């Protein structure tokens, strides 16, 4: 299917979705967000795609942030609607019933950082930059940055980045726990695909159950989280994959998950 602001390819159960507004560094206009919301719904329902890699077209940017030209004439009502649309997209991304890996090439600023925070984990090229520069425009992050960034890297470090609006490079992003790993720019997609393929080989129902347990248990205390885990663990035994995986292990052969 052709999209106006995105490129999508699906191969070997891996979907690679690219923001494709190279001329504006893949910035987030309202039209981009509306289309992003629909693509996320389509990918969630797509049985062929077991893992999603989210990245940016071109060499300079993953997503450089909001389309500032659209912000210029917004009043508070317009801004609330824009924030609601962005937050809706990122909640869809976060709750996707399959893993989403951010492969960050170049700038991931403002809304770009907020997008990667809603992904399951993050790989970065050596030239990537992250930041929440909204205070430099007289506004605040509006797509969940004030909520997800403290949960990702701790409240004190998040305060420093959000209050200062300063950018950090990939090396610093790894040091503070924002990014999982940094790879050379030319190897970013190939290295991300290796991990995605490893995930896709596993039981899809089990991976989905893991994401459910992690996401829904994270805000609970450990005891309630373990209760949730126990219930989800039990439900996996009703899946054909559990029977196949355990049988294959005992028979010393690779599992054939459906």
Gap between the Cα atoms of 126 and 12, Å rounded: 27
Helix (H, G, I), strand (E, B) or coil at 102: strand
Q: How far apart are CA 10 and CA 154, in angstroms?
A: 35
Write the burial class of residue 75 (CB in 10 Å: 0-12 exposed, 13-18 middle, 19+ buried). Answer: exposed
According to the model, what pLDDT value does residue 2 have? 81
Q: Domain 6-200 adopts which CATH fold?
A: 2-enoyl-CoA Hydratase; Chain A, domain 1 (3.90.226)
CATH class given for the domain over 203-250: mainly alpha
Q: Per-residue pLDDT tens for 234-248? A: 999 999 999 999 999
**For residue 8, pLDDT beyond 90:** yes
Query: Which residue among the candidates 38, 114, 219, 256 is catalytic per the annotation?
Result: 114
Q: Does the active-site annotation cover 134?
A: yes
**What global pTM score does this model have?**
0.95
Query: Which spans in the chain are helix H?
Result: 30-45, 68-71, 76-94, 111-117, 145-153, 155-164, 170-175, 188-201, 204-217, 222-236, 240-250
- When pLDDT is cut at 50, 70 and 90, the band that residue 116 belongs to is very high
Considering the candidates 59, 134, 191, 227, report the single residue annotated as catalytic. Answer: 134
Confidence grade of residue 1 (pLDDT, cut at 50, 70, 90): low
Condensed to tens digits (0 to 9), the pLDDT of residues 143-168 reads 999 999 999 999 999 999 999 999 99
Mean pLDDT value across residues 106-132: 98
Looking at residues 216-243, what average pLDDT do you find?
96
Number of other residues whose CB lies within 10 A of the CB of residue 122: 27
Percent of the chain predicted with pLDDT > 70: 100
- Ranges for all domains in the chain classified under CATH 3.90.226.10: 6-200
Every domain of the chain with CATH number 1.10.12.10 lies at: 203-250
* pLDDT band at residue 258 using 50, 70 and 90 as cut-offs: confident
pLDDT digits (tens, 9 = 90+) for 39-97: 999 999 999 999 999 999 998 999 999 999 999 999 999 999 999 999 999 999 999 99
């Amino acid at each position: 299917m052709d999209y106006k602001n995105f490129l999508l390819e699906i191969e070997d159960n891996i979907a690679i979705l690219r923001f494709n507004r190279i001329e504006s560094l893949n910035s987030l206009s309202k039209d981009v967000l509306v289309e992003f919301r629909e693509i996320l719904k389509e990918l969630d329902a797509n049985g062929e795609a077991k893992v999603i890699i989210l990245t940016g077209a071109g060499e300079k940017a993953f997503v450089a942030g909001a389309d500032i030209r659209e912000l210029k004439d917004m009043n508070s009502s317009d801004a609330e609607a824009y924030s609601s649309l962005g937050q809706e997209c990122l909640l869809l991304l976060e709750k996707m019933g399959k893993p989403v890996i951010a492969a960050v090439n170049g700038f991931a600023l403002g809304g770009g950082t907020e997008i990667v925070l809603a992904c399951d984990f993050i790989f970065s090229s050596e030239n990537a930059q992250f930041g929440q520069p909204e205070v430099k425009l007289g506004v605040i992050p509006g797509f969940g940055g004030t909520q997800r960034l403290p949960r990702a890297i701790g409240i004190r470090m998040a305060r420093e980045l959000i209050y200062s609006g300063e950018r950090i490079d990939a090396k610093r992003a790894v040091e503070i726990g924002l990014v999982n790993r940094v790879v050379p720019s030319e190897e970013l997609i190939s290295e991300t695909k290796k991990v995605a393929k490893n995930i896709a080989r596993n039981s899809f129902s089990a991976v989905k159950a893991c994401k459910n347990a992690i996401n829904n248990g994270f805000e609970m205390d450990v005891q309630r989280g373990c209760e949730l885990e126990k219930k989800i663990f039990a439900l996996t035994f009703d899946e054909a994959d559990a029977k196949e995986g355990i049988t294959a292990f005992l028979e010393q052969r690779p599992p054939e998950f459906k």
